[in-house]
Chains A and B, each alone.
Chain A
Amino acid sequence: MMRDWKKVCPLEEIPRLGSRQVKTASGMIALFRTVDDEVFALHDECPHKGGPLSQGLVAGKVVTCPLHSWKIQLENGAAVAPDKGCAKVYPVKVEGGVVWIAL
């Protein structure tokens, strides 16, 4: 299946170790940027109680939910054990300094 890539924003509009919210037809998505400029995208809802992951604190490749401090892995959306749950992951790529997302 062909992926439907959408252009989002220049990379520098996402702060390092930070995130941006993206409104899409499939709901709110959180874009994260690591210290090494890797970018990840997750459905902006914590599997625990729906907290906005985009507002969390990013360290390594993990975001800590601002509501109850669940830790969610950016690469696969899974909660760090012993918590259990998963946020949906969206494919992202950075080309020529621009972030793209596949919905």
Chain B
Amino acid sequence: MKKQKLVMVGNGMAGCRTLEELLKLAPDLYEITVFGAEPHPNYNRILLSPVLAGEMKFDDIVLNDLAWYRDHGITLHLGKKVVKIDRKAQKVVTEDGATAVYDRLLLATGSSPIILPIPGNDLPGVLAYRDIADTEAMIQAAQSYKRAVVIGAGLLGLEAANGLALRGMDVTVVHLADWIMERQLDKTAADLLQKSLEAKGLKFLLGKQTEMLKPGANGRVGAVRFKDGGEIPADLVVMAVGIRPNIELAKRALLHCNRGIVVSDTMQTFDPKIYAVGECAEHRGVTYGLVAPLFEQAKVCANHLAQMGIAQYRGSLTSTKLKVTGIDVFSAGDFMGGPHTEEITLSDPVGGIYKKLVLQGNRLVGAVLYGDTADGAWYFQLMKDGQDIHEIRDHLMFGQHHIGDAGHAGQNKAATMPDSAEVCGCNGVCKGDIVKAIKEHGLFTLEDVRKYTKASSSCGSCTGLVEQILASTVGGAYQPAATHDKPMCSCTEHSHGAVRAAIREHKLLSIPAVMKFLDWKTPNGCASCRPALNYYLISTWPHEAEDDPQSRFINERAHANIQKDGAFSVVPRMWGGLTTPAELRAIADVAEKYRVPTVKMTGGQRIDLLGVKKEDLPKIWADLGKAGLVSGHAYGKSIRTVKTCVGAEHCRFGTQRSMDMGVKLEKMLFGMWAPHKVKLAVSGCPRNCAEAGIKDVGVIGVESGYEIYVAGNGGIKTEVAQFLCKVKSDEEVKEYTGAFLQLYREEGFYLERTCHFVARVGLDYVKSIVVDNAERRKELYERLLYALQGYEDPWAKAVATRSKEYEVLEVTI
């Protein structure tokens, strides 16, 4: 098949990201030609500030070097300006008369800095701050001149001013509005920021309108004169008063433009063969100047160029971070508030901390943080997800850690952490490693950082911290994706929720059927989506859907936990933590017979045999089975244990028979697969010796019955279980517990613990179904019992069927 021709005008970050996304989806669909007006390959424009500040060099910020274009067969014309689009002939014409025909045209022409229309704006020494040429000119000026004036105290202006000051210049920032960064900050935060920038040596003149730039004796700019008659000397003037989308080319081709080139939700212009992305595009009346929205646009545009046609761009919520070393400022959304909003503020001017959260109804709609921006990413996520926050409203200001969702206690100032501080305790990754990888490889997303550094890729408890480091390194370019429509993995565009819904609504019964129905991008998925799909299938259609062992992680496939040396561990079930001399004898016997190197008590009141060879597993199980012992599922995303105290059976304080209740629950739940592991506990009195307060379901006996708590967690994220309800009888404990767990099984996302699930859907929602709606509760409970019907001990099954899973083949010489 002959390749179609794709021409891209503009060689910046939005355009190149579109090409990257396109090449991932359809590497061979197009013959691609790129025209760039600058003489450089694509570089990371948001890192110009560190270049100016002397923290990085140009080579460090190149995103796509020339080899990248060559390797992907892209024809690159650098330093060539396209001056005409002939839409009828479907071709573009360059300044020097060269032409290129297209089947699809992508406009990524970016924007230009606004130059104030005042006398003297063309004098030598007057610059904008937009590209590497401007940056280099500023660096040069700093070597021979002393006095700099930056007009405009927006994000870019302040970063320019800071860079020039670091290069030894005496810098004055001139601003028209009454406070700096007025489009991102309220006055209180701006004043604090101004104070700390003044401490770094910057001077500010606010509420000043520039009237003209006066030449000095050497013909170069010499002074800045204001409307009010004042005047200050200047050898260098940098204008940072905003950007204007580059739309002249599109306008000449009679494409519909307002402020930018108008595009639809598919990033198409009014000519369906022509797409536009980036700062030149106007979507639903908005043009964007930050990187993150541009990347979202790139993804959508690539999806349509690749002829997949399912993505939609619906606009972006943006957040801002200032990249000035040592200063933390964050702002997002409607940070000023208005008549229909409420505000929560925390102000500690001496400590240099100010936080304002803007609420509308039960949603967070805006935030300004100064001094401590640790929770910026979290607040932004809450805004993007539109999450109902009324349950956490009273803790909201104190941040994610206070809600108990952050993991690393106390470490919440990413910007001020030393490079040597360990961030990811699982993989031993320090802050410096992460920052280096972000800069060297041009990373923008959490996934990329995980791939390159492994930070937060294991237990995930440092995710928030890694996000903060990412945000403080790349600034506002880091935008977390909204969690509910985040694709499951790179094999698909669909989110966990969408996949669950499709399996349920269309009665899909096997992994290949799901992949076919939802247009999976890879032939058989990956190690992250297949186990999830397998779980969704068997939990949605028990006894009907196929349970595919090859789509289960090794532990669930082999019914034992793999250890670091490739050996396995065996944990027989002890119902409610109870055992007998005969069982203990059987365990002791296998431990001796198979030379098990380590025997250990687990945290869930049972015994772990560690260091077992895989081929010995069925033999050990067979011996244990003779004593009546079955699998403890210590290896699965499944019911693990029900921990109990001795309770009213023996304890002088016991009010309820907790051991008996625990055994009943564990027997009921035997073989229950879930989105993640599930642990229960039953205590016989409020002294709570079984530690029910940190379990997925914790039951506490009281004189009049039982209290049921849910969504606790004693692991990565220590979380105290929340009170669900109080019930009277053992049968009710089973019903409410079963209904809650079935709700989690049906609506939880794979690898989401109950604490995350309840945080996502809200405890009120859970209560409305499990506590307040008797009919729904009974239905859930019945569905759970139906799903668990006829479940066989997997160990006995492996022994009986002589599963080949455990056999090692042999080749002799």
Residues in chain A within 8 A of chain B (CB atoms): 6-9, 13, 15-18, 20-25, 28, 31, 35, 49-52, 55-60, 62, 64, 66-69, 71, 82, 101, 103
Set B451, B526, B809: member contacting A20, Cβ < 8 A: B809
The reply on B149 being an interface residue by CB < 8 A is no
Q: Is the CB of A56 within 8 A of B808?
A: no
| Interface contact A35-B523, CB-CB below 8 Å | yes
- Does B58 sit within 8 A of A, measured CB to CB? no
Instruction: Enumerate the 6 nearest inter-chain pairs by beta-carbon distance, A residue then B residue, closest first.
Output: A64-B527, A52-B566, A55-B554, A17-B550, A57-B527, A22-B809
We find that the number of chain B residues with CB closer than 8 angstroms to chain A is: 34
Beyond known contacts A55-B614, A82-B441: 12 more, CB 8 A cutoff: A20-B808, A23-B809, A25-B811, A35-B524, A50-B566, A52-B562, A56-B554, A57-B527, A59-B525, A59-B530, A60-B526, A103-B811
Residues on B with beta carbons closer than 8 Å to the beta carbon of A50: 565-566
Instruction: Report B's interface with A, CB cutoff 8 A.
Output: 441, 451-452, 454, 457-458, 522-527, 530-531, 549-551, 553-555, 558, 562, 564-566, 614, 804, 807-813
Instruction: State the CA gap A103–B811 with chains docked (Å).
Output: 10
A contact residues around B530 at 8 Å (CB): 57, 59
CB-based contact B526/A51 at 8 Å: no
A51, closest chain B residue (CB): B566
A82 vs B449: C-alpha distance in the bound complex, in angstroms?
Answer: 11
CB neighbours of B807 from chain A (8 A): 20
Distance in Å from the Cβ of A26 to the closest Cβ of chain B?
9
**A59 in contact with B522 (CB, 8 Å):** yes
* A46 CB → nearest B CB, Å: 10
Contact B550 A82 (CB under 8 A): no
Interchain pairs with CB closer than 8 A, number: 92
Given the complex of chains A and B, what is the CA–CA distance between A8 and B809 in angstroms? 7
Residues of A within 8 A of B808 (CB): 20-23, 28
Output the least CB separation between B139 and chain A (Å): 32
Q: State the Cβ distance, B115 to closest chain A Cβ, in Å.
A: 42
Cβ of A50 to closest chain B Cβ, rounded Å: 8
Q: Select one of A23, A49, A64, A82 contacting B811, CB under 8 A.
A: A23
Known: A55-B562, A66-B554. A24 touches B527 (CB 8 A): no
21 A–B pairs (Cβ distance < 8 Å), ordered by A: A8-B811, A15-B549, A18-B549, A18-B550, A22-B808, A23-B809, A50-B565, A51-B566, A52-B562, A57-B527, A57-B531, A57-B550, A57-B553, A57-B554, A58-B550, A60-B523, A60-B524, A66-B554, A67-B564, A68-B454, A69-B527
**Complexed CA–CA distance, A60 and B527 (Å):** 11
Residue from B458, B549, B564 in contact with A49 in the complex, judged by beta carbons closer than 8 Å: B564
Per the bound structure, the CA–CA distance linking A38 and B555 in Å amounts to 25
A56 and B809 in contact (CB under 8 A), knowing A16-B550, A17-B550, A82-B452? no
Contacts of A103 in B (CB 8 A): 811
Query: What residue in chain A is nearest B568 (Cβ atoms)?
Result: A55
Q: How far is the CA of A9 from the CA of B526 in the complex (A)?
A: 27
Q: Which residues of B contact A9 (CB under 8 A)?
A: 809
B contact residues around A28 at 8 Å (CB): 808
> Are B524 and A31 in contact, with the CB atoms below 8 A?
no
Q: Which residues of A contact B527 (CB under 8 A)?
A: 56-57, 59, 64, 69, 71
Asked if A13 and B804 make an inter-chain contact with CB atoms under 8 angstroms apart, the answer reads yes
CB neighbours of B810 from chain A (8 A): 22-24
How far apart sit A58 and B554, CA to CA, in the bound complex (Å)? 11
Q: In whole Å, how far is A74's beta carbon from the nearest beta carbon of chain B?
A: 13
- In the complex, what residue of chain B is closest to A25 when comparing beta carbons? B813
Q: Residues of B contacting A22 with CB < 8 Å? A: 808-811
CB-CB nearest in chain A for B437: A82
Say yes or no: B562 contacts A67, CB within 8 Å: yes
Q: Give complex CA distance A101, B813 in Å.
A: 12
A41 to B546, CA, bound (A): 28
Chain A residues with CB below 8 A from B523, complex form: 35, 59-60
**Among B451, B524, B813, which residue has its beta carbon within 8 angstroms of that of A17?**
B524
Contact status A6-B550, CB under 8 Å: no
| Residues of A with C-beta under 8 A to B554 | 55-57, 66
Complex-state Cα separation, A96 to B478, whole angstroms:
55
- Hey, which chain B residues are within 8 Å of A6, CB to CB? 811
Q: How far is the CB of B368 from chain A (nearest CB, A)?
A: 36
On chain A, the residues within 8 Å of B804 by CB distance are 13, 20
Assembled-state Cα–Cα distance A21/B614 (Å) = 11
Residues in B whose Cβ lies below 8 Å from that of A16: 550
Query: In the bound complex, how far is the Cα of B524 from the Cα of A57, in angstroms?
Result: 11
Q: Which of chain B's residues has its CB closest to A55's CB?
A: B554
In angstroms, Cα B261 to Cα A45, docked, is 55
Which of B550, B558, B812 is close to A15, meaning CB atoms less than 8 Å apart?
Answer: B550
Chain A residues, CB < 8 A from B441: 82
| Residue ID in chain B nearest A69 by CB atoms | B527
Give the residues in chain B near A18, CB-CB below 8 Å: 549-550
**How far apart sit A22 and B451, CA to CA, in the bound complex (Å)?**
31
CB distance from B28 to the nearest CB of A (A): 18
Asked if residues B549 and A60 are in contact (CB atoms below 8 Å), the reply is no
A77 CB to closest chain B CB (Å) equals 17
Min CB–CB distance A19 → chain B (angstroms): 9
Judging by beta carbons under 8 Å apart, are B811 and A24 in contact?
A: yes
Closest B residue to A34 by beta carbon equals: B524
Nearest CB of chain B from residue A84's CB, rounded to whole Å: 11
Contacts of B558 in A (CB 8 A): 55
Nearest neighbor of B526 in chain A, beta-carbon distance: A59
For residue B524, which residues in chain A have a CB less than 8 angstroms away from its CB? 17, 35, 58-60
Q: Report the separation of the CA atoms of residues A64 and B528 in the bound assembly, to the nearest whole angstrom.
A: 10
Chain A contacts of B614 at CB under 8 A? 21, 55
Residues of B within 8 A of A20 (CB): 804, 807-809
Q: How near does chain A come to B640, taking the closest CB pair, in angstroms?
A: 20
A23–B555 Cα distance when bound, in Å, is 21
- Verify B451–A82 contact, CB threshold 8 A: yes
